[in-house]
Amino acid sequence: MSENGNAVKPPALVVCGLRKDYGDDTVVSDFDFEVADGEFVTLLGSSGSGKTTTLMMVAGLVEPTGGTIEIAGQPVTGVPPQRRNIGMMFQSYALFPHLTVFDNVAFPLKRRRFPKAEISKLVIESLERMQLEGFGHRYPAQLSGGQQQRVALARATAYEPPLLLMDEPLSALDRNLRRSLQDELKRFHRTLRTAILYVTHDQEEALSLSDRVILMTEGRVAQVGTPQEIYQSPRSLFVARFLGESNALKGEVASCKGGEAVVKLRNGQVVGGTCSEPLPAGSQVVVVIRPENLMAEANDADGDGIAISVEEISFLGESVRCRGTFATSEPCTLMVGPDHASELSVGATRRVRWEPSKAVVLPGDT
């Protein structure tokens, strides 16, 4: 989301105080966010987190209970979907099966009453950009999954909308196809620089595609940040658990100064970590460490770090995953490079350490 250097463009999307109630059920509440021009933002959340409802409200397909939405500087609250000038991609692409590829891509242009010559020029350009030359006369059913995605992209971008909405376009596909289509989406975003609001429940997809991720839970924002920020500095246990694996050690604050906290664990040992807010001494906290940030060493009695007993080792190719139990009798997961795997063996006791900067101390005790 870097500044593009040219004249200041309004953000592709500004959402302010968005809210949706279904009867007594609040699906989305107090939701504010922005998508800058050219930015790729993902709404990430499990089902029922309100992410799809939010997308549908931006599209105009669901009416918000409250709040405002602006697309490219234009307020669109109350504007029907066909006049919002957005592009949208759906799960399984929603290509029109009774229309040819050409007519699918021409559909939005015809609805906008472009002149005929202009339509065929734009469609041909759009198909060329997606490397679909010569596919114009085919029907969607005659295309592969990758080609279908490109047709859907061509259709949603032929009229150069300032904002593209994507509703889990890849979630119905198998893993390998998903990977290659993710790469293609990234390439597409890099070349076109259209702002994208993407919805998914797949954290890997969110991390690998987005400039920024908005993690949602129960209709609210859990955390907003770049994929790195959100993965490395989760601001709550929910975020830490939602994104990847993490180890959680309960304890109470011994001291906290300048963003560094010292925590006394349940077995009386004292460990270090970072905290984003001052924590009162004696308060209940959880120390969260990613499995790859744990370093295993021989169990010297005088070394620092915590003892673990190794219970299970699985070789994953590029890394080795080890499950065990901390001396505090909390479960432990670590990932090490295959070179270090020889230091671990089932049944052994080892000592794990971590850089305090790589451990996050979060208030709470669950």
Partner 1 sequence: MARKLLWVVAAIVGLISIAPALIVIPYAFSESGFLDFPPGWGGWQWFEKVLDDPTWGEAAMRSLKVALIATGIASVFGTAAAYALVRARPRFSGMIVGLLVLPMVVPIIIFALGSFALGSDLGLVGSIWTLAIAHAALGLPFVLLNVRASLQLVDPSLERAARSLGAGPLSAFGRVTLPLILPGVLSGAVLAFVLSFDEPVVALFLSQDTDPTLPVKLFQTIRLALEPTVAAVSVMLLILGIAGAALWWVTVRFGQRRLRAAAASVPEGV
Binding residues for partner 1 (CB under 8 A): 59-61, 80-88, 90-98, 107-108, 111-112, 139-141, 144-146, 148-149, 155-156, 159, 165, 172-174, 177, 180
For partner 1, the closer of residues 146 and 272 by Cβ is 146
Cβ–Cβ contacts within 10 Å for residue 226, how many?
A: 14
> CA-CA distance, 276 to 142, in Å (whole number)?
54
The 8 Å CB, 24+ separation contacts for 341-346 are 341/313, 341/315, 343/296, 343/297, 343/298, 344/296, 344/310, 344/313, 344/320, 345/310, 345/313, 346/310, 346/311, 346/312, 346/313
For partner 1, the closer of residues 92 and 309 by Cβ is 92
Grouping H, G, I as helix, E, B as strand and the rest as coil, residue 223 is strand
CB of 110 to partner 1, least distance (A): 8
For partner 1, the closer of residues 67 and 87 by Cβ is 87
Those residues whose C-beta lies under 8 Å from the C-beta of residue 343, and which sit 6 or more positions away, are 296, 297, 298, 336, 350
Amino acid at 271: V
> CA-CA distance, 56 to 62, in Å (whole number)?
5
Amino acid at 258: G
For partner 1, the closer of residues 144 and 366 by Cβ is 144
> CA-CA distance, 44 to 205, in Å (whole number)?
9
CB of 158 to partner 1, least distance (A): 9
Alpha helices in the chain (DSSP H): 51-59, 101-111, 116-129, 145-157, 175-192, 203-209, 227-232, 237-242
CB of 20 to partner 1, least distance (A): 17
For partner 1, the closer of residues 56 and 230 by Cβ is 56
CB of 176 to partner 1, least distance (A): 8
For residue 94, how many C-alpha atoms fall within 13 Å in the half-sphere facing its CB?
12
For partner 1, the closer of residues 23 and 97 by Cβ is 97
For partner 1, the closer of residues 59 and 352 by Cβ is 59
CB of 62 to partner 1, least distance (A): 10
Largest CA distance in the chain: 81
CB of 270 to partner 1, least distance (A): 54
For partner 1, the closer of residues 49 and 149 by Cβ is 149
Those residues whose C-beta lies under 8 Å from the C-beta of residue 83, and which sit 6 or more positions away, are none
For partner 1, the closer of residues 83 and 241 by Cβ is 83
CB of 29 to partner 1, least distance (A): 24
Tokens at 2, concatenated: 């870097």
Burial class (CB in 10 A: 0-12, 13-18, 19+), 117: exposed
For partner 1, the closer of residues 155 and 212 by Cβ is 155
CB of 13 to partner 1, least distance (A): 14
CB of 363 to partner 1, least distance (A): 42
CB of 9 to partner 1, least distance (A): 22
Residue 293 per-residue DSSP state: G
Grouping H, G, I as helix, E, B as strand and the rest as coil, residue 68 is strand
Contact (CB, 8 A) for 272 and 238: no
